[in-house]
Amino acid sequence: IPDILGLNITIPYKVAALKLVQEVEPVAAKIGAINVMKKMKGGSWKGYNTDYYGFLTALEKLEPPEFWKGKNALILGTGGSSMAVAEALSALRMKAKKVSRTPGKDELDYEKLTGRMLKQVCLLVNCTPLGMYPNILAAPRLPWEELPKGAYAVDLIYNPEKTLFLERSEKQGLRVQNGLPMLIAQAEKSWEIWNS
């Protein structure tokens, strides 16, 4: 389609889309996934990752950047969004571990999460599609009663407004935020990219 000047990419294509672009912004290259493409002069395409900026902006709505420094986080999921979240947490100097049903190197298994591990966590981020409409009765498998009271639970999902993951986290005394602040911030960043 010759008139398209840019587009957004969503799950599950953020990693695969890298093969479609001729140039990648440094942050997106470091992440290894893109969610925005921009048509450049001459017709080539450049890839960006606005999830990174969106997530940082969403966290700033909870606490200032200094608050997160040195604290521990768990990232639930290992897809394109989790890659952007991991890079954002690294920029904040947080210590983050990914949790997966099929863990790779340096990743944790849901089945092996212990209360001792969870008690050291300040932030849990759901980067999986579990709980997204229409499958609203799904949630990552966690030892809910072991979740640390007072920590933050952030879900990248915004439909429904409160996922089962957030409901259960809130019930255990965690402070919760859905994916709407991130969605808005990354959309604004996309618009800025396309109009620059």
Cβ-contact 92, 57 below 8 angstroms: no
Tokens of 70: 């040195």
> What is the pTM (predicted TM-score) of this model?
0.94
Extract the tokens encoding 145.
């009663």
Asked if 105 is an active-site residue, the reply is no
Tens place of pLDDT per residue across the chain (196 aa) = 568 889 999 988 999 999 999 999 999 999 999 999 999 999 999 999 999 999 999 999 999 999 999 999 999 999 999 999 999 999 999 999 999 999 999 999 999 999 999 999 999 999 999 999 999 999 999 999 999 999 999 999 999 999 999 999 999 999 999 999 999 999 999 999 999 9
> Tokens 């994916």, residue?
179
Residue from 14, 38, 71, 189 carrying the catalytic annotation:
14
